[in-house]
C-alpha cells in the first residue's frame, strides 16, 4: 500500500472524528456549525472512500493480515470492557450508599425528612428556579432528597432562560422552589431542608383546609383582584398553600359551619350583629380558630369579645414618622415593623413587614386563666400609638403626647393560645390571631415589597395547627480553631515550607553524588 | 505475585536512583507547604478579625476543615495533575527508548505482572507523596481541633485521585516511546477529566449528569467535603481498572504488531 494512500485514510478518519465531535457539542445550531460539520464530514468521507477504493486489493490483504485480526480483536474487547464498566457504574450510581463523616452529619438529611420522603405515594416534582440554573448547594440538597425515593425528581431551572415557566408558576425571585404532588403545589422562597420538608408535608396532605371569610359588613372582597384594597391576593396565597377560601354570611347561620378550619374577620365597615359576635365567640369556645383584622375606628364591638380572650384593642393609630424620610411629607401612618416575638410563626423572620393604618394591641391576661398571649409583631421605638384621632384625621397632625399616647415599640399583631379546660369552657385549645390593620393584608401590601404574605400565611398555618410540620436545625461543620504562639508559628513555617522539602532535596543530591 | 512485587521494587528503586523522584517530591512538598502555611495564616487573620469585630455568627462558621484543609487538598490535586505525568512518563516509554522493552517482553514475566508491578511501584510513590503532606493536618490537630473524619475522607480522596492519575499515566506511557509525548498526553487527559464537568450546569439534565459523573473533580470534591459515597469509590476503581486494562492491551499489542 503506498504511504500517501494510507495518509489519505488517516486524514479521512480525523476529519470525520472532528465532524462528529463538533456535531455532538454544537448540535448544529448555527449555519456555521452546519458548514463546518458538512465540509468535514464530506471531505472526510470522500478521503476515506478514495482510500478504500484505491486499494480494494490492499484492503483485502490488510484485512487478511494477522495483526489486523488482533487489532480488531483488541478494539472490540476494549470497547466491550468499557461498555461493561459503564453499565456497572450506572448500577453503582443507582444503588449507592453514602457515609457522612462530618460530625454533625451536615450532608445527610435528618430522620424527619427521610421518613417524609419515604412515605410518598405519588410522584413529587420539584422545580428549583435559581440564577443561571446553577446552585450547587441546593442541588446537593435536592439530590439528597432524590436519593431517598425514586418518586421524587427535581429540576434546576434558569428563570431567565425559561421565562415562560417562571411566568406560569408566578415565580418572581431567584431561589424559589416549587413542589408539585398530584394536583397540589406550593412554593417556597427560602429553600433549606426545613422548608423543603415542610413544603412536602404540606403538598402531600390530602385534606383541604378551609378558610371561611365572613362577608356582609363591607369586608374587602376575596375575589377582588384589580382594587388595591381587595383581598384576592390573600385568596391566591392561601390557595397556593392548599387552602380553600369560602365566603360565609354569618348572619344567616346558626353557627360557624363545621368545615371552617379558620374564620377570617377582615376589616368590617359596618357593625356585626350581636348574634354574629355570639356565634364567633362560641366558635372559639369550642376550640375554633379565627383571625381578626380590625382597623382603627372600626369593629369596636370586637373590643369586649377580644378582651375576654386576653387582647386589648387600642383606640389609636400607630404613627412612625421615621418613614417620612423616604416618603416625603407624610404623617407616618404606615409603620414598618421588624421586631418579632420568638415564635414558630416568626422563626427565621428577619425581614420587615408593613402595617398601614394600624391600631395598637396589648396583651391583657390579668385575672384570666388559661390564656397565653404573644405580642407577635412590634413597631420601632420611634413609633407611638396616637390617641388624638380627631387631630390626626381632621387636622392631619400627629405628635407624641406622653400623657395620653403610648410610646413605641407597640404591638400591632398578637396571637392567643387558650387552654379551654383552664378557662372552664370545655376541652382542647382555641387559637386566635389579631392584627390591628386591614390594609396589611390587601392586594397591594400582601404581595408588595414587604414580608406581609409570609407573616399572614404562617399565622394561618399556625392557627390550623399544622403540628406535623417539623423543625430541622440547619447543620454545618462545627467551628474549629487553631492556636499557636509566635514561636510555634515559626516552627510550623520552617517545618512545612522549608525543612521537609530541604531534606528531600538533600537526599536527592546525596544519591546523585554517589551515583556520579 | 512475587513477580509483581519484584517489578514494583525495581520500579520504585528506579525512581529514587534518578533525581526525578527527589525533584518531584521536593517540588510537591514545597508547593504544599506554601499553600498550607498561607491558608493557615489567612485563617488566623480571619479569626482575629472576626474576634475584634465581635461577629459571633461569622465565628461559628469559621472552621479549619473548610478554610484550610479543603482548599489545600484541592490545590494539591491540581499540582498532582501536573506532577503525576512526570512520574509515570518514563515507566514504559523509557524502556522502549532504552531497548530494555524487548528484554522485558521476552522474559518469562506475564504482561499482567509487568503492568501490575509498574502500577504498584508508582502507587507506592504516590502514597509517599500524599503521605508526606499528612504533616499539615497533623500540625492542625496538634494546635487546633479540625474534624478528623473530614480530614480522613479528604485524604482518601486525594490518594484515590493520585492512583487514578497514575493508572492514566501508565496508559499514555505505554502508547509511545517518547517521554514528552507520554507526559503531555497524560497531562491533557487528566486536565480534561478534571474540567469536563464545567459545562454540566448548562447542558441539560442527562448530558449534565453524565459530564458530572465522568469528571474526577466532582467525586473528589465530595470526599473533601467529608462524604464517602460508594458511587465515588466505584468510579475511582473503575478509572483505575479501565486504564490498567487498556495498558495491558496496549503492552500486549507489541507481541503481534
pLDDT tens per residue, range A292-310: 999 998 888 888 889 999 9
Rounded to whole angstroms, the Cα distance separating A78 from A165 reads 45
Closest Cα of chain B to A102: distance in Å? 6
The model's pLDDT over A484-498, given as tens digits with 9 standing for 90+, comes to 888 999 999 999 999
User: Residue A229 above 70 pLDDT?
Assistant: yes
Read off the pLDDT of each residue in A106-117 and give the average, rounded to a whole number.
87
Residues in B touching A504 (Cβ below 8 Å): 22, 25-26, 29
Listed residue (A239, A224, A234, A369) closest to A309, CA to CA: A369
Closest Cα of chain A to B1: distance in Å? 24
Listed residue (A203, A184, A178, A240) closest to A119, CA to CA: A203
User: Residue A85 above 80 pLDDT?
Assistant: yes
Report the interhelical angle of B19-53 vs B135-143 (nearest 10°).
Answer: 30
Read off the pLDDT of each residue in B77-92 and give the average, rounded to a whole number.
93
Mean pLDDT score of chain A, rounded to an integer? 86
Cell for A324?
417620612
- Closest chain B residue to the Cα of A514, Cα to Cα: B17
User: Residue A3 above 90 pLDDT?
Assistant: no
Note the pLDDT of residue A206.
63
User: Residue B150 above 60 pLDDT?
Assistant: yes
- Closest chain A residue to the Cα of B47, Cα to Cα: A481
Listed residue (A233, A261, A230, A229) closest to A248, CA to CA: A261
- Closest chain A residue to the Cα of B228, Cα to Cα: A99
User: Residue A5 above 70 pLDDT?
Assistant: no
User: Residue A4 above 80 pLDDT?
Assistant: no
Note the pLDDT of residue A99.
92
Cα-Cα-Cα-Cα torsion B39, B44, B47, B52, nearest 10 degrees, comes to -140
Note the pLDDT of residue A27.
77
| Position with higher pLDDT, B211 vs A202 | B211
* Span of A170-179, A346-355, B134-143 with lowest mean pLDDT: A346-355
Of the candidates A92, A477, A483, which has its C-beta nearest B230's C-beta? Answer: A92
* A359 Cβ neighbours under 8 A, 6+ residues apart: A294, A295, A296, A313, A314, A315, A316, A317, A318, A385, A412, A436, A437
Of the candidates A74, A93, A501, which has its C-beta nearest B30's C-beta? Answer: A501
Share of chain A above pLDDT 70, in %: 94
B213–A82 CB contact, under 8 Å: no
Read off the pLDDT of each residue in A452-473 and give the average, rounded to a whole number.
78
User: Residue B45 above 80 pLDDT?
Assistant: yes
A101–B149 CB contact, under 8 Å: yes
Backbone angles phi, psi at A222, to 5 degrees: -75, -5
User: Residue A252 above 50 pLDDT?
Assistant: yes
- Closest chain A residue to the Cα of B240, Cα to Cα: A85
Residues in B touching A515 (Cβ below 8 Å): 17
Rounded to whole angstroms, the Cα distance separating B151 from A32 reads 50
Chosen from B50, B79, B202, B226 to mutate, greatest number of chain A CBs within 10 A: B226
Cell for B236?
475511582
The model's pLDDT over B4-21, given as tens digits with 9 standing for 90+, comes to 999 899 989 888 888 889
Note the pLDDT of residue A2.
52
Of the candidates B22, B63, B205, which has its C-beta nearest A480's C-beta? Answer: B63
Residues in B touching A501 (Cβ below 8 Å): 26-27, 29-30, 33
Beta-bridge mates of residue A185: A180
User: Residue A512 above 90 pLDDT?
Assistant: no
Q: Any idea how long chain A is?
A: 516
What single-letter DSSP state applies at residue A210? E
Residues in A touching B130 (Cβ below 8 Å): none
Mean pLDDT score of chain B, rounded to an integer? 91
Alpha helices in B54-147 (DSSP H): 56-61, 64, 70-88, 90-98, 100-106, 111-132, 135-143
Rounded to whole angstroms, the Cα distance separating A152 from A203 reads 13
Cell for A289?
380558630
Note the pLDDT of residue A124.
92
Of the candidates B29, B227, B235, which has its C-beta nearest A500's C-beta? Answer: B29
Chains A, B: CB contacts within 8 A come to 168
Closest Cα of chain B to A506: distance in Å? 9
Read off the pLDDT of each residue in B52-79 and give the average, rounded to a whole number.
90
Q: What confidence category does residue A1 fall into, taking pLDDT thresholds of 50, 70 and 90?
A: very low
| Position with higher pLDDT, A59 vs A45 | A45
Backbone angles phi, psi at A366, to 5 degrees: -55, 125
Q: Three-state SS string across A420-483, please? A: HHHHCCCCCEEEEEEECCCHHHCHHHHCCCCCHHHHHHHHHHHHCCCCCCCCCCCCCCCCCCEC
User: Residue A177 above 50 pLDDT?
Assistant: yes
B245–A482 CB contact, under 8 Å: no
What single-letter DSSP state applies at residue A314? P
CA distances from A227 to A236, A296, A387 (A): 15, 21, 30
Note the pLDDT of residue B248.
93
Closest Cα of chain A to B102: distance in Å? 18
Note the pLDDT of residue A89.
94
What single-letter DSSP state applies at residue B203? S
Beta-bridge mates of residue A243: A209
Q: Any idea how long chain B is?
A: 257
| Position with higher pLDDT, A367 vs B76 | B76
Buried b (16+ CB within 10 A) or exposed e, A148-182: bbebbebebbbbeeeeebbeebebeebebbbbbbe
A478–B147 CB contact, under 8 Å: yes
Residues in A touching B35 (Cβ below 8 Å): none
Share of chain B above pLDDT 70, in %: 99
B150–A477 CB contact, under 8 Å: yes
User: Residue A119 above 90 pLDDT?
Assistant: no
Note the pLDDT of residue B53.
86
Note the pLDDT of residue A48.
84
Listed residue (A252, A240, A249, A284) closest to A431, CA to CA: A284
- Could you tell me where the beta strands, DSSP code E, fall in A9-132? 98-100, 124-129
Q: What confidence category does residue A258 fall into, taking pLDDT thresholds of 50, 70 and 90?
A: confident
A101–B34 CB contact, under 8 Å: no
The model's pLDDT over A139-153, given as tens digits with 9 standing for 90+, comes to 888 988 988 888 999
- Closest chain B residue to the Cα of A488, Cα to Cα: B143
Residues in B touching A509 (Cβ below 8 Å): 22
Rounded to whole angstroms, the Cα distance separating B124 from B128 reads 6
Residues in A touching B24 (Cβ below 8 Å): none
Residues in A touching B136 (Cβ below 8 Å): 496
* A406 Cβ neighbours under 8 A, 6+ residues apart: A314, A316, A360, A384, A385
- Closest chain A residue to the Cα of B21, Cα to Cα: A508
Question: Is residue B223 a contact partner of residue B154, using CB atoms and an 8 Å limit?
Answer: yes
Backbone angles phi, psi at A261, to 5 degrees: -75, -35
Chosen from A480, A489, A507, A512 to mutate, greatest number of chain B CBs within 10 A: A480
| Through-space distance between the first and last CA atoms of chain A, rounded to whole angstroms | 50
pTM over 0.80: no
- Closest chain A residue to the Cα of B14, Cα to Cα: A511
B40–A482 CB contact, under 8 Å: yes
Closest Cα of chain B to A354: distance in Å? 27
Chosen from A501, A505, A506, A516 to mutate, greatest number of chain B CBs within 10 A: A501
Note the pLDDT of residue A343.
86
B226–A102 CB contact, under 8 Å: yes
Rounded to whole angstroms, the Cα distance separating A493 from A499 reads 9
- Residue in the block written with cell 464498566: A85
A67–B147 CB contact, under 8 Å: no
Note the pLDDT of residue A106.
86
Question: Is residue B86 a contact partner of residue B18, using CB atoms and an 8 Å limit?
Answer: no
User: Residue A471 above 70 pLDDT?
Assistant: no
Note the pLDDT of residue A59.
67
Residues in B touching A476 (Cβ below 8 Å): 60-61
Read off the pLDDT of each residue in B36-51 and give the average, rounded to a whole number.
92
- Closest chain A residue to the Cα of B247, Cα to Cα: A78
Q: Is the peptide bond before B58 cis (omega within 30 degrees of 0)?
A: no
The model's pLDDT over B186-223, given as tens digits with 9 standing for 90+, comes to 999 999 999 988 888 777 778 888 888 999 989 999 99
User: Residue A64 above 60 pLDDT?
Assistant: yes
Amino acid at each position: 500500500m503506498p504511504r500517501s494512500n494510507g495518509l489519505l485514510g488517516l486524514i479521512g478518519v480525523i476529519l470525520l472524528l472532528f465532524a462528529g465531535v463538533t456535531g455532538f457539542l454544537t448540535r448544529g445550531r448555527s449555519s456555521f456549525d452546519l458548514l463546518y460539520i458538512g465540509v468535514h464530514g464530506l471531505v472526510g468521507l470522500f478521503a476515506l472512500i478514495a482510500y478504500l477504493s484505491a486499494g480494494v486489493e490492499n484492503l483485502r490483504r490488510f484485512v487478511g493480515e494477522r495483526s489486523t485480526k488482533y487489532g480488531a480483536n483488541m478494539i472490540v474487547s476494549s470497547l466491550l470492557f468499557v461498555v461493561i464498566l459503564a453499565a456497572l457504574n450506572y448500577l453503582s450510581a443507582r444503588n449507592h450508599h453514602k457515609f457522612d463523616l462530618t460530625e454533625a452529619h451536615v450532608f445527610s438529611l435528618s430522620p424527619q425528612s427521610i421518613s417524609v420522603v419515604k412515605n410518598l405515594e405519588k410522584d413529587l416534582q420539584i422545580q428549583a428556579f435559581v440564577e443561571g440554573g446553577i446552585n450547587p448547594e441546593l442541588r446537593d440538597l435536592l439530590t439528597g432528597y432524590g436519593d431517598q425515593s425514586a418518586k421524587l425528581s427535581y429540576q434546576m431551572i434558569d428563570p431567565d432562560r425559561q421565562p415562560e415557566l417562571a411566568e406560569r408558576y408566578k415565580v418572581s425571585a431567584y431561589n424559589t422552589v416549587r413542589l408539585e404532588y398530584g394536583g397540589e403545589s406550593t412554593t417556597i422562597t427560602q429553600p433549606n431542608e426545613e422548608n423543603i420538608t415542610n413544603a412536602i408535608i404540606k403538598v402531600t396532605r390530602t385534606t383541604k383546609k378551609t378558610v371561611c371569610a365572613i362577608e356582609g359588613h363591607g369586608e374587602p372582597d376575596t375575589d377582588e383582584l384589580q382594587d388595591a384594597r381587595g383581598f384576592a391576593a390573600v385568596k391566591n396565597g392561601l390557595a397556593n398553600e392548599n387552602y380553600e377560601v369560602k365566603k360565609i354570611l354569618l348572619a344567616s347561620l346558626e353557627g360557624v359551619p363545621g368545615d371552617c378550619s379558620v374564620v377570617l374577620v377582615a376589616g368590617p365597615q359596618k357593625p356585626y350583629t350581636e348574634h354574629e359576635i355570639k356565634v364567633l365567640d362560641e366558635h372559639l369556645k369550642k376550640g375554633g380558630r379565627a383571625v381578626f383584622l380590625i382597623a382603627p375606628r372600626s369593629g369596636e364591638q370586637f373590643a369586649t369579645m377580644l378582651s375576654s380572650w386576653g387582647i386589648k384593642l387600642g383606640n389609636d393609630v400607630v404613627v412612625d414618622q421615621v418613614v417620612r424620610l423616604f416618603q416625603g411629607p407624610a404623617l407616618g401612618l404606615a409603620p414598618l415593623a421588624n421586631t418579632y416575638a420568638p415564635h414558630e410563626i416568626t422563626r427565621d423572620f428577619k425581614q420587615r413587614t408593613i402595617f398601614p393604618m394600624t391600631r395598637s394591641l396589648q396583651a391583657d391576661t390579668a385575672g384570666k386563666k388559661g390564656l397565653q398571649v404573644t405580642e407577635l409583631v412590634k413597631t420601632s421605638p420611634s413609633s407611638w400609638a396616637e390617641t388624638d384621632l380627631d387631630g390626626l384625621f381632621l387636622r392631619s397632625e400627629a405628635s407624641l403626647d406622653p400623657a395620653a399616647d403610648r410610646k413605641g415599640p407597640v404591638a400591632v399583631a398578637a396571637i392567643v393560645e387558650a387552654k379551654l379546660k383552664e378557662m372552664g369552657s370545655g376541652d382542647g385549645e382555641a387559637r386566635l390571631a389579631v392584627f390591628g390593620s386591614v390594609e396589611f393584608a390587601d392586594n397591594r401590601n400582601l404581595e408588595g415589597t414587604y414580608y406581609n404574605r409570609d407573616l399572614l400565611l404562617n399565622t394561618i398555618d399556625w392557627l390550623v395547627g399544622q403540628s406535623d410540620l417539623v423543625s430541622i436545625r440547619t447543620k454545618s461543620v462545627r467551628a474549629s480553631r487553631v492556636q499557636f504562639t509566635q514561636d510555634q508559628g515559626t516552627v510550623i513555617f520552617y517545618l512545612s515550607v522549608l525543612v521537609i522539602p530541604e531534606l528531600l532535596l538533600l537526599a536527592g543530591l546525596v544519591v546523585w553524588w554517589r551515583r556520579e | 505475585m512475587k513477580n509483581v512485587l519484584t517489578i514494583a521494587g525495581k520500579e520504585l528503586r528506579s525512581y529514587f536512583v534518578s533525581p526525578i523522584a527527589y525533584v518531584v517530591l521536593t517540588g510537591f512538598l514545597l508547593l504544599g507547604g506554601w499553600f498550607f502555611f498561607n491558608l493557615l495564616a489567612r485563617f488566623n487573620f480571619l479569626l482575629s478579625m472576626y474576634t475584634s469585630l465581635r461577629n459571633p455568627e461569622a465565628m461559628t462558621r469559621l472552621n479549619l476543615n473548610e478554610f484550610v484543609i479543603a482548599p489545600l487538598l484541592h490545590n494539591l490535586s491540581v499540582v498532582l495533575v501536573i506532577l503525576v505525568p512526570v512520574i509515570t512518563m518514563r515507566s514504559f516509554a523509557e524502556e522502549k527508548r532504552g531497548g530494555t522493552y524487548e528484554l522485558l517482553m521476552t522474559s518469562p514475566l506475564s504482561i499482567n505482572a509487568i503492568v501490575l508491578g509498574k502500577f504498584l511501584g508508582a502507587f507506592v510513590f504516590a502514597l509517599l507523596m500524599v503521605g508526606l503532606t499528612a504533616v499539615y493536618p497533623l500540625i492542625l490537630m496538634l494546635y487546633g481541633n479540625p474534624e478528623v473524619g473530614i480530614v480522613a475522607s479528604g485524604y482518601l480522596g486525594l490518594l484515590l485521585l493520585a492512583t487514578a492519575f497514575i493508572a492514566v499515566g501508565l496508559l499514555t506511557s505505554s502508547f509511545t516511546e517518547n517521554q514528552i509525548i507520554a507526559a503531555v498526553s497524560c497531562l491533557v487527559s487528566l486536565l480534561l477529566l478534571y474540567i469536563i464537568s464545567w459545562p454540566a450546569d448548562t447542558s441539560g439534565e442527562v448530558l449534565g449528569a453524565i459530564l458530572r459523573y465522568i469528571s474526577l473533580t466532582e467525586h473528589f470534591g465530595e470526599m473533601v467535603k467529608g462524604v464517602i459515597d460508594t458511587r465515588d469509590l466505584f468510579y475511582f476503581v473503575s478509572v483505575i481498572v479501565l486504564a490498567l486494562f487498556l495498558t495491558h492491551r496496549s503492552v500486549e499489542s507489541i507481541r503481534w504488531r
